[in-house]
């Protein structure tokens, strides 16, 4: 098995261990491989080892990889997970399967209008700012429900859940407490009658705490592909 295949197995084992520790079914957590800065060959290697969902932070880089891996398109799921500017929404609506980083209605409206009719609805998550950092992306927690209602009403989009990227924390308990803030917003929106099923929380360094807090999708890059140059 390749090195990337080995690393994927190690991450999957971490997911199983983390789920077992809190009495969750490991099948309830999906692995999203974050492939920014890594070449298409690395994704091809991960795909050969059984990985099908890939997250890209930068739209142009993601589009280049979608093109380079066009022969695998039917078996790949492309997630846009970085901040999204208005001038990039058309390319994302036309080429990606998921967007995790919607934090204002204008972006969602553009994605909805620009999603081609021949494609399935674009799967979307709202990005929530759970620790109040002023320069961080994400809708404030107290505004998330109103945004969720507005996004859910748009055609060509399917609102699936929430994503959050809290500030790095030094220990498991602090990490989990930050993630639990996102879980609370998720639960609030579901309690309002919206059928969310995706909580996109946790990365290489803190996926165990995210799973303990209820994450259903972990976004892992360096633990699979290695450190970024």
DSSP string, 91-115: HHHHH-SEEEEE-SHHHHHHHHHHS
**Domain containing residue 146: CATH number:** 3.20.20.10
Q: What predicted TM-score, i.e. pTM, was given to this entire model?
A: 0.96
Residue 164 inside a domain? The answer is yes
Alpha-carbon distances, residue 228 vs 38, 58, 78 (angstroms): 8, 14, 20
Residue 8 inside a domain? The answer is no
User: Tell me, what's the pLDDT at 82?
Assistant: 95
Closest CA to 176 of 194, 145, 202: 202
User: Which domain range does residue 160 map to?
Assistant: 30-224
User: Tell me, what's the pLDDT at 229?
Assistant: 62
User: Tell me, what's the pLDDT at 228?
Assistant: 72
Residue 13 inside a domain? The answer is no
- If you count them, how many residues does the chain have? 229
Residue 22 inside a domain? The answer is no
Residue 133 inside a domain? The answer is yes
User: What's the structural domain count of the chain?
Assistant: 1
User: Tell me, what's the pLDDT at 182?
Assistant: 97
Please tell me whether residue 30 adopts helix, strand or coil conformation: strand
Contacts of 126 (CB under 8 A, 6+ apart): 102, 103, 139, 144, 147, 148, 151, 159, 161, 162, 163
Residue 129 inside a domain? The answer is yes
User: Tell me, what's the pLDDT at 1?
Assistant: 64
Q: How far apart, in whole angstroms, are the C-alpha atoms of residue 14 and residue 18?
A: 6
Question: Residue 159: beta bridge partners?
Answer: 124
Q: What is Dmax (Cα atoms) for the chain?
A: 47
Residue 56 inside a domain? The answer is yes
Q: How far apart, in whole angstroms, are the C-alpha atoms of residue 76 and residue 70?
A: 9
Instruction: Give the pLDDT of the chain (229 residues) as one tens digit per residue.
Output: 679 999 999 999 999 999 999 999 999 999 999 999 999 999 999 999 999 999 999 999 999 999 999 999 999 999 999 999 999 999 999 999 999 999 999 999 999 999 999 999 999 999 999 987 766 789 999 999 999 999 999 999 999 999 999 989 999 999 999 999 999 999 999 999 999 999 999 999 999 999 999 999 999 999 999 987 6
Residue 211 inside a domain? The answer is yes
DSSP symbol at 37: T
């Amino acid at each position: 098995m390749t090195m990337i295949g080995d690393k994927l197995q190690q991450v999957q084992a971490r997911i199983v261990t983390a789920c077992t520790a809190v009495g969750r079914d490991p099948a309830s957590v999906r692995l999203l491989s974050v492939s920014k800065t890594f070449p298409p060959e690395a994704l091809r290697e991960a795909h050969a080892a059984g990985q099908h969902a890939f997250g890209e932070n930068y739209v142009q880089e993601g589009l280049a990889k979608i093109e380079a891996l066009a022969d695998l398109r039917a078996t790949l799921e492309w997630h846009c997970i970085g901040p999204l500017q208005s001038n990039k929404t058309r390319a994302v609506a036309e080429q990606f399967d998921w967007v995790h980083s919607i934090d204002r209605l204008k972006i969602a409206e553009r994605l909805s209008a620009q999603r081609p009719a021949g494609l399935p609805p674009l799967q979307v998550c709202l990005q929530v700012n759970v620790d109040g950092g002023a320069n961080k992306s994400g809708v404030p927690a107290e505004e998330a429900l109103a945004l969720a209602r507005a996004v859910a009403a748009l055609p060509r989009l399917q609102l699936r859940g929430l994503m959050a990227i809290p500030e790095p924390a030094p220990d498991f308990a602090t990490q989990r407490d930050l993630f639990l803030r996102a879980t609370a917003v998720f639960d609030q929106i579901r309690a309002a009658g919206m059928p969310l099923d995706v909580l996109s929380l946790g990365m290489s360094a803190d996926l165990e705490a995210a799973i303990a807090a209820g994450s259903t999708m972990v976004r892992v890059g360096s633990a699979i592909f290695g450190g970024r140059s």
